[in-house]
Structure formats: structure tokens, C-alpha cells
């Protein structure tokens, strides 16, 4: 069994063998993962300021995306220019999402010491972490762009059919922001990969924000923690997907009843309804990203807590505990030693 990250080279650990895995019902494991998701929502209710960074990203993303979708004259530019504009958009979004995640992580750390300050968290993210976040964002942007190109090729026929005489109004804006491509297994698989890569990036950022590691060391640290916690990551992926899907049901009903894309709508909604739906989609998108950020932060904290438990067990000559035997840390329990790992 591999050593815990950060403990591999310790001279006090001659060999890193976890204790014999204890049987735990799969239902109990899912219960622990559900508790992490529930705790993310409880944290949001207690500290709504944690929602502000990702909502700010949406307020930048949505108008830029709508401009590129409806107002930018793509046909006046060559293929390489189109690729360049698309990559710059994805790269900027990557930077903003990682920066928002970093700000949230600084807010979480502030909670343990008192009342969180958004301004201080933003300053810490800029002065301490911005330089290290940029290479990580660029790496993510390259992967994201490659997946986006594949997805565009898979949905190319539909895009060409819908590109004629497309005008911007509240209904078309809502459909565009919701992702109006028809369902296909291949495109859904690519979008699933995009979500997985995004969550991996959110697992790397805590190594920068909380442990002060360089970008290469942080990437290795995040990947190590992912390898040690593959099952927890997979359950987090599934649970955040299900939570987002459930929250999207009201929007899906509005589209089902009121969309005029494929013919006369069942219900003729007013423009104010579509404007309200655009606002709801912004909250939904932000909520989805927030859940991913908080779930990955909790997995990281859980792993730090397990590492400390392992060190204590080794010092006392006891059997090394499993991660599932280690209590999940409470983010806003004012635990003074939560980050002193």
C-alpha cells in the first residue's frame, strides 16, 4: 500500500502499510459521502459569502458567452482565428474558476479563525496564489479546449442547422445558457469528462491555497490524494451530478412547455418568465460549481485529517486507520487545528 502523500519520505515511517481494511457496508460509505454534500449546503446557509466568488464568475461568463454566441461574426474570421478566440474564452474562464475556488478556500480557512472577509480572501488569492494558479489554469484550458473541439465536432450538424437567423432574446439566451444541443451519448461522454477534469482541478487548488505548494508540487499532491481517494471522488462526482440534475428539473419543465425551437409551444410564456429563467440558470450554474468546489475541499480536508491520524497512530505504535474510519472534518466548527496538519 502506498504511503499517504506528504508522508512518503518521513524517516519515522519504515514502511507505509495501512491496517487491514475494515468491512464497511457500501451504504455506510455512501452515507458519509452524502454527509459531505449535505455539509456543503449547510456551510452555504451559514456563510452565503462562499457563493459570491462563483456567482461573480457567472456574471462575467454569461454576457461574454451570449456575445460570442449571438453577436460575434464568426463567419468573418478564418478557422485559426475562431480557434484562437475560443481558446482565449476558455482560458479566461479557467482562470476565473480557479481564482474563485482559491477565494472560497481562503474564506473557509478564515471561518476557522472567526468571521470570513471576502475582501481579505480576494487579496490573499491575488497576492499569494495568483502566479501559481496561472500555469494550472493554462494546463486546464488546453485540456478543456481539446474536449470542447471534440464536442463541437460531435454536434456540428445541429449547430449548423441552428445558426441561421438566430436572434438574441430572453428565450434564446436561456436556451443557449442551458446548453441547447440535442442529447447524444458521445457528446454527453465528453461533457462528463469535462466535469471530471474540472473537479480534479478543484482538488489541486487546496494544495496551493492551504499548503502553499508550487504548481508542480500542488498538482502531484492533488493527484496523489485523488489516487488515495478514488471511491470518494467518484461518489462526489455522482452526488454533485444528481444534485444539479434535481435542481435543474424546474428549468427543464419550462423549456419542455414553453420552448418554440421545434414548433409552437405548449404554453406561451412571457418574456419576464424567460428572464427569470436566465437568472435561475445563473444560480443553478453557480450552485453546481460551488458543490464541486466544496466537495473537493472537504475530501482534501478529510485526507489531511487522516494523515494526522496516521502520524499519531505511528507515534503510538498502533494500527494505521483507514480513511473511512477517520471522522470527516467540520468546516465551520471553529476547529483551531483543522489546518495545522
**pLDDT exceeds 70 at position 110:** yes
Mean pLDDT over 140-160 rounds to: 83
pLDDT over 90, % of the chain: 56
pLDDT at 339: 60
134-143, 150-159, 319-328, range with greatest mean pLDDT: 134-143
Q: Which own/partner pairs from 184-190 qualify as long-range (CB within 8 Å, at least 24 positions apart)?
A: 184/154, 184/155, 186/154, 187/151, 187/154, 187/155, 190/147, 190/150, 190/151, 190/154
Between 7 and 251, residue with greater pLDDT: 251
Lowest-pLDDT range of 97-101, 164-168, 224-228:
164-168
Q: Under a CB-based contact definition with an 8 Å cutoff, are residues 315 and 91 in contact?
A: no
Mean pLDDT over 262-278 rounds to: 89
Burial class of residue 22 in the structure, from the number of CB atoms within 10 Å of its CB (0-12 exposed, 13-18 middle, 19+ buried): exposed
pLDDT at 181: 62
pLDDT at 132: 96
**pLDDT exceeds 80 at position 18:** no
Amino acid at each position: 500500500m502506498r504511503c499517504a502523500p506528504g508522508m512518503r519520505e518521513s524517516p519515522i515511517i519504515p514502511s507505509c502499510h495501512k491496517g487491514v481494511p475494515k468491512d464497511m457496508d457500501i451504504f455506510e460509505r455512501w452515507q458519509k459521502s452524502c454527509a459531505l454534500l449535505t455539509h456543503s449546503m449547510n456551510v452555504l446557509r451559514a456563510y452565503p459569502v462562499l457563493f459570491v466568488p462563483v456567482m461573480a464568475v457567472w456574471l462575467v461568463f454569461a454576457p461574454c458567452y451570449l456575445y460570442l454566441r449571438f453577436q460575434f461574426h464568426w463567419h468573418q474570421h478564418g478557422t485559426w482565428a475562431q480557434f484562437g478566440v475560443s481558446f482565449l474564452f476558455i482560458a479566461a474562464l479557467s482562470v476565473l474558476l480557479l481564482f474563485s475556488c482559491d477565494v472560497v478556500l481562503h474564506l473557509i480557512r478564515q471561518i476557522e479563525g472567526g468571521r470570513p472577509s471576502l475582501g481579505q480572501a480576494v487579496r490573499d488569492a491575488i497576492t499569494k496564489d495568483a502566479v501559481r494558479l496561472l500555469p494550472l489554469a493554462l494546463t486546464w484550458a488546453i485540456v478543456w479546449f481539446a474536449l470542447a473541439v471534440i464536442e463541437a465536432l460531435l454536434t456540428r450538424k445541429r449547430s449548423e442547422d441552428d445558426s441561421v437567423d438566430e436572434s438574441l432574446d430572453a428565450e434564446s439566451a436561456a436556451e443557449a445558457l442551458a446548453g441547447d444541443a440535442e442529447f447524444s451519448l458521445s457528446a454527453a461522454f465528453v461533457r462528463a469528462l469535462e466535469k471530471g477534469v474540472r473537479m480534479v482541478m478543484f482538488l489541486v487548488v487546496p494544495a496551493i491555497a492551504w499548503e502553499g505548494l508550487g504548481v508542480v508540487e500542488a498538482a502531484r499532491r492533488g493527484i496523489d490524494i485523488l489516487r488515495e481517494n478514488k471511491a470518494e471522488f467518484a461518489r462526489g462526482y455522482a452526488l454533485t451530478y444528481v444534485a444539479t440534475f434535481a435542481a435543474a428539473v424546474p428549468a427543464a419543465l419550462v423549456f419542455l412547455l414553453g420552448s418554440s425551437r421545434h414548433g409552437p409551444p405548449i404554453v406561451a410564456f412571457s418574456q419576464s418568465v424567460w428572464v427569470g429563467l436566465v437568472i435561475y440558470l445563473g444560480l443553478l450554474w453557480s450552485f453546481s460549481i460551488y458543490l464541486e468546489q466544496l466537495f473537493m475541499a472537504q475530501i482534501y480536508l478529510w485526507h489531511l485529517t487522516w494523515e494526522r491520524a496516521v502520524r499519531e497512530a505511528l507515534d503510538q505504535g498502533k494500527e494505521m486507520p483507514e480513511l473511512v474510519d477517520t471522522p470527516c472534518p467540520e468546516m465551520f466548527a471553529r476547529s483551531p487545528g483543522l489546518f495545522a496538519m
